[in-house]
Amino acid sequence: MVDLPRHVRGRPNPTGRMYFSFEKFRGTPRAWPVVPLLDFVQDGLFWRRCRQCEALAAKRAADGWERAWVSASGRSYPLPQPRGDGGPAVFWAAVDAAEARDRTDDGQARKTFDALIDFYKTQPAYEKLAPLTKRDYDRHLAKIGQAWGSAPVASLTTVLAQEAIDLQSHTPAGARYFRAVLSKLLSFGAARGYCETNVARVTEKVEHAVEPHKPWSDGAFEAFFEHARPGLHLPVYSALYTGQRSVDVLPMIRPARGANAIELIARKTGAEVFVPIHSEYQEILTRTHIDHPALHLREDGQAWTLAAYRTAWQREFTSKTSKGAPAQVSSEKAAAMKTLRDGAFVFHGLRKNAVNMLLEAGNTEAEVSAIVEMSEQMVRHYCRDVNKRRLAINRMRKLEECWKETRANLFGPGAAAAAK
């Protein structure tokens, strides 16, 4: 039998099952009414209830007993009777609610990180974030809460902030995002009296060189469409001809027959996107048409989810089974998948193919931005190689136009005459 906390008593019933209760001042004139506890001491909730019992207060009243839960800060929260209406379940729910309310009250009074994070999440600055951005913010806000939740925001120093950022340095992209969210939160808090200044602003910026995604080569497309499972094909065409992210490609609704555009809401930005359907893509959609509301289907006719597609993609490229064992594939397929892996051809690279094709067709950066839902700055980043090719082609065209004069200047009049 484990050692029980003070005032906690266990007793068996006739069948031998143990029952536990909190019985303060038992056997004395000051004895409190019994507070029932959980039956299983192995349950972590049992020990939490025991700790909560230490903060209980009780006193006699004209009509019985008055109970309360008293926090470490001295705040008192009234409670129902443990054997009253609703029984112990209602009593312990009230204790949990009092504990949660005290954390909030205490956090607001001391202006803690927990209180600031809760407040921030009720504001338009947070609510207007796109769903995917909000998901990333939540992940880093949780890390901030774990690090300093109960501490006053004003107690954070630049040194402590830098140490927390450095702990994330094994993933530079994550460290950079953590620093950005922390800085955003502190700026929000400084303007509302939680701290005097944003100490994260002067922390060291995280150096993070992003490797650009490679556009797929003709050979990569040939290897993929010849050897990858058929259920993976149509999403690749959709990404190539629409330029959208995988998170928007996989859930696409099948356009009606004869539709001239695909319309969707970009999950990253929340913006409405209108993508005219290219004639070749229209032919692919016509040939693969199935009466199903979803556009992208597995071989068994069920709609792909993004998670399932990514898993299937990974297994296909690595030639692994669902259990991680090597799959039985032909040597030709194994070689093709290795070529795709070694070439770092990933799904997101198709987005760069789409941008490049649009630019090479003469579209402006603003026009490309509207189609693929990407900032013009990012379009310019994506199109550096395209611009190099444009410059090279233009320079060669100009050289061709003035070649006779250039040749004469280089090699003299005799060379020009010989060339006739």
For the stretch 13-58, pLDDT in tens is 888 888 899 999 999 999 999 999 977 777 788 999 999 999 999 9
Q: Sorting pLDDT into bands at 50, 70 and 90, what band is 86?
A: confident
Quote the radius of gyration of the chain (alpha carbons, Å): 33
pLDDT at residue number 270:
81
Quote the longest CA-to-CA distance of the chain.
127
Are 31 and 24 in contact by the 8 Å Cβ rule? The answer is yes
Q: Which residue has better confidence, 86 or 300?
A: 300
| Number of helical (H) and strand (E) elements in the chain, helices listed first | 19, 8
Q: Where are the domains of the chain?
A: 8-109, 115-202, 218-382
For residue 316, CA distances in Å to 249, 288, 340, 341, 406 come to 19, 22, 11, 11, 54
Instruction: Encode pLDDT of 362-371 as tens digits.
Output: 888 888 888 8
Q: Order of strands, edge to edge, in the sheet holding 64-70?
A: 56-61, 64-70, 76-79
- Sequence-distant (≥ 6) Cβ neighbours of residue 267 within 8 angstroms: 130, 131, 132, 245, 247, 248
For residue 163, CA distances in Å to 175, 192, 392 come to 11, 25, 48
Q: Which of 101-105, 219-223, 344-348, 403-407 has the lowest mean pLDDT?
A: 403-407
pLDDT at 97 over 90: yes
Cα(189)–Cα(195) distance, rounded to whole angstroms? 6
pLDDT at 415 over 60: no
Least Cα distance to 255 among 306, 294, 288 occurs for 294
Instruction: Encode pLDDT of 185-241 as tens digits.
Output: 999 999 999 999 999 999 999 886 656 688 999 999 999 999 999 999 999 999 999
CA quadruple 371, 375, 378, 380: dihedral positive or negative? positive
Instruction: Encode pLDDT of 371-401 as tens digits.
Output: 888 888 888 777 666 656 655 666 677 667 7
Q: What would the two tokens of residue 395 be?
A: 């320079």
Q: Which residue has better confidence, 250 or 396?
A: 250
Find residue 262's DSSP bridge partners.
275
pLDDT at residue number 324:
84
pLDDT at residue number 1:
57
What number is the average pLDDT over the span 97-107? 86
Architecture in CATH of 218-382: Orthogonal Bundle (1.10)
Are 129 and 137 in contact by the 8 Å Cβ rule? The answer is yes
Least Cα distance to 212 among 389, 365, 356, 338 occurs for 356
pLDDT at 108 over 60: yes
Instruction: Encode pLDDT of 280-299 as tens digits.
Output: 999 999 999 999 999 999 99
Cα(386)–Cα(390) distance, rounded to whole angstroms? 6
pLDDT at residue number 407:
56
Taking the complete model, does pTM exceed 0.75, yes or no? no
Percent of the chain with pLDDT over 90: 58
- Give the fold, CATH level 3, of 115-202: DNA polymerase; domain 1 (1.10.150)
pLDDT at residue number 35:
92
CA 23 to chain centre: 48
Q: Which residue has better confidence, 182 or 150?
A: 182
What number is the average pLDDT over the span 160-169? 94
Q: Sorting pLDDT into bands at 50, 70 and 90, what band is 271?
A: confident
The 10 Å CB-count burial string (b at 16+, else e) for 218-233 is: eebbebbeebbeebbe
For residue 302, CA distances in Å to 231, 240, 262, 305, 314 come to 10, 22, 21, 9, 19
pLDDT at residue number 138:
95
